[in-house]
Amino acid sequence: MRSLFFIGAELSIKKLVWVKWKHTLASKDKGDLGVSSLFAFNRALMFKWVWHFITQGSSLWARVIKALHGYDEKIGKKVKSCYPSLWLDIIHEVEMFKSRGIDLVSLIHSKLGNGANTSFWEVAWRWESPFKSLFPRLYALETKKKIDVASKFSHSGLDVSFRRPPRGGFKLQQFEHMKEKVEECILADMMDRWFWALEGSSEFTITSVRKMIDDFMLPKVSSKTC
């Protein structure tokens, strides 16, 4: 129906089409017309809720999601819901894209300021992955898994809130590695903030997500349109 509207055709009348619909949808950067697909646009709208959830974690609606689905909110996990849930439907779509090579969540980065609003373990504030994923054995020792960066830095050592000090072997090696990276960080007198890696302005846009999905999933042509 949308393709008929685009070329000004009617259901009862056949009209010659010079360009395949998939090439009409794909972006101009890839040599097509750049109309964009509703599939990509709808998924970009859905992912906007994930962006808001991560960047507005203390908001009322985000706290409701955490109360219903647990503090990790199922982001980054394969989920099977035994009851209707719009949030889990969104997470399912995000994981589907990740399995196809489009990791949207990894494009949400934290820029550290004073560290008061950034989770030490659960946010990728130092590397592309959070510390809980990079150092799982140290995370298992942590008694304050929700501790923010500022509070962690205020301690006399990174292992103060551990159940026991990491001793010998791989745990100690992980601890020394983490400590080396953390010691390079200096907190600033400004609020923490989030940025979107696909945009030069660092601001999240639905257009950037839609274009990324279309560029990945729609066909490419050899010559660009004018």
Percent over 90 (pLDDT), the chain: 34
Query: Is the model's pLDDT at 1 over the cut of 50?
Result: no
Whether 93 and 146 map to the same domain: the answer is no
Percent over 70 (pLDDT), the chain: 75
Q: Which residue has the higher pLDDT, 8 or 141?
A: 141
- C-alpha 30: how far from its chain's center? 24
For residue 189, being part of any structural domain is answered with: no
CA-CA-CA-CA torsion for 167, 155, 73, 178, nearest 10 degrees? -50
Residue 131 CA to residue 46 CA, distance in Å, equals 27
Whether 210 and 101 map to the same domain: the answer is yes
For residue 223, being part of any structural domain is answered with: no
Q: Answer yes or no: are the C-beta atoms of 103 and 95 closer than 8 Å.
A: no
Whether 31 and 57 map to the same domain: the answer is no
Q: Are strands 108-111 and 193-196 parallel, antiparallel or unpaired?
A: antiparallel
For residue 83, being part of any structural domain is answered with: yes
Whether 152 and 44 map to the same domain: the answer is no
Whether 131 and 149 map to the same domain: the answer is yes
Whether 164 and 118 map to the same domain: the answer is yes
Residues 70-99 have pLDDT tens digits of 755 567 666 666 667 888 899 999 999 989
Whether 21 and 54 map to the same domain: the answer is no
For residue 55, being part of any structural domain is answered with: yes
The parent domain of residue 145 ranges over: 113-182
DSSP state of 73: T
Residues 141-176 have pLDDT tens digits of 999 998 999 999 999 999 999 999 998 889 999 999
Whether 1 and 50 map to the same domain: the answer is no
Question: What is the tally of structural domains in the chain?
Answer: 3
Whether 100 and 123 map to the same domain: the answer is no
For residue 121, being part of any structural domain is answered with: yes
Whether 205 and 148 map to the same domain: the answer is no
What pLDDT is attached to residue 155?
93
Three-state DSSP class for 108? strand
- Number of residues that make up the chain: 226
Whether 31 and 61 map to the same domain: the answer is no
Instruction: Report pTM.
Output: 0.66
For residue 21, being part of any structural domain is answered with: yes
Whether 123 and 13 map to the same domain: the answer is no
For residue 194, being part of any structural domain is answered with: no
